[in-house]
Amino acid sequence: MIGTWRWNVGLGLFGGVLTLLFSLGSNGLEVSVLRSVYAFIAFFALAFLFRILLAASLRGNTREAGEEPGKSMDENKGSTLDVSTPDETDQLHDMLKMQLDGNVKTDAVEQAPFQPLTPPKLVSTQNKEPEELAKAIRHLTGG
């Protein structure tokens, strides 16, 4: 379990004193003290419950994949993820030096220079024969 009993007592005292301060203005001293004792017990129990839940959740997160009892190695595959990246700074420096020197290695096929797309121009339907238009519509609708 996380922490010690001192956490429970500290949170219990905090709740008891807070209840006593708020209760003194509207109740007598005996009722206020009794309610602060009840608040101390309630906060003490809540702190104990909170510590148990926190310890259980942290114990579940720190458990290694191979430590789980009753599982074979096949069942543990894929339960851990290595997110570290390999150190490739030397290769990167070499590539940058080659690019600065102009010795960029390209594939056997030379790349063609950039040419913008030249789509066909839209054709107006004003001077078309009606049979050609019907044929085009049938072709587009699949009928």
User: Tens of pLDDT along the chain (143 residues)?
Assistant: 577 788 899 999 999 999 999 999 898 999 999 999 999 999 999 998 998 888 888 877 655 544 555 556 677 777 777 788 888 888 888 888 888 887 655 544 466 788 888 888 877 767 778 888 888 889 989 87
pTM as predicted:
0.42
Is the torsion defined by CA of 47, 49, 53, 58 positive or negative?
A: positive
Domain ranges of the chain: 5-60
